[in-house]
Amino acid sequence: MNEPRMNAIVQDEYGPVKVLSLRNIERPTPGPDEVLVRVHAAGVNPADWHLMTGVPYLARLAFGLRRPKNPVRGADVAGVVESVGPGVTALSAGDRVFGVAKGSFAQYAVAAVGSLARLPESLSFPHAAAIPLAGCTALHAVRDAGLVSAGQRVLVIGAGGGIGTFVVQLAVALGATVTGVCSTSKLELVRSLGAQAVIDYTVEQITGHPPFDVIIDTAGNRPLSLLRSILTPQGRIVIVGAEGGGNLAGNTGRQLQAALTPRAKQRAIALFSTESTADLGSLLEFVDAGTVRPVIDREYPLAEAAAAITRMTDGLAHGKIVLTV
């Protein structure tokens, strides 16, 4: 008897986008506390590029030394539960869901129940797929690490990207005065998200502005000493992501520096984010209230995953890129 099959974006080795191919492979089976999701849309994230290239190299200790343990790319998912594994009672076949799955660049993907949330009819699959990784990371950066509150001045570096667009909106929703840093083409987008001021980093330095209570850096290439110089004496810096820093360890060294070099009462926090049903629910509350909206740059069909990842890594995306399945 033939096993059910599906189309998926697969790689057999680490490397550039040419290692990706669309193939027909065996459909996965959910285990205990897992469900099988029929994928309607999948978000594209920097994590997909890191797993595709195997950079930084230290990450291969967890994800496979010579090749990825899971050959199917993708994590953000939005779709419909196809079947449930043993012991699953929180979800049933036919439920609309979104969250994080194992290999969402495919027609079907397995996800842990604890990394999914029910998807309301009011939110489309593509917009839901844009939320999980970027939205949860932004939520943790603003709410948990940054401790952003009303009346604070917040600087968001990388404000026009996938995570940054969520950070700006969440900080504004919590009553902060936000200054965004982005490229020229993203200025109007960042203003439309509620930023009171926007700095075009191609023509202006981030120094020379009044000190900020919180700096959330999603771009990852400015020295901590520079960020501290524009921070209030009791301010907080949140380092998000692992861009820059070379192929061996990525931005890990910068994050360790943030954790190990306190200065007076300033705090520098290296953020390592995870996703959960509770966090996805919190983000839905902001979306339902109209204070946060997923920003989609472009939608690509599944077969054009390589082009989608290329656009993201080239820094061209205004917000999130989504694959439709």
Chain length of the chain: 325
Q: What is the pLDDT of residue 255?
A: 55
What's the rounded Cα separation, in Å, for the pair 294 and 263?
A: 36
Q: What is the pLDDT of residue 142?
A: 98
Q: What is the pLDDT of residue 1?
A: 52
Q: What is the pLDDT of residue 3?
A: 77
Tens digits of residue pLDDT in 66-104: 899 999 999 999 999 999 999 999 999 999 999 999 999
Tens digits of residue pLDDT in 201-240: 999 999 988 899 999 999 877 889 999 999 999 999 999 9
| 249 has a pLDDT exceeding 90 | no
Q: What is the pLDDT of residue 209?
A: 87
pTM score: 0.93
DSSP letter string, 258-320: HHH--BTTBEEEEE-----HHHHHHHHHHHHHTS----EEEEEEGGGHHHHHHHHHTT--SSE
Q: For residue 144, what pLDDT band results from cuts at 50, 70 and 90? A: very high
| 274 has a pLDDT exceeding 80 | yes
Q: For residue 179, what pLDDT band results from cuts at 50, 70 and 90? A: very high
**What is the set of domains in the chain, with CATH numbers?**
5-131+294-324 (3.90.180.10), 134-271 (3.40.50.720)
pLDDT mean over 113-142? 98
What's the rounded Cα separation, in Å, for the pair 173 and 168?
A: 9
Q: What is the pLDDT of residue 262?
A: 55
27 contacts 106 by C-beta, under 8 angstroms: no
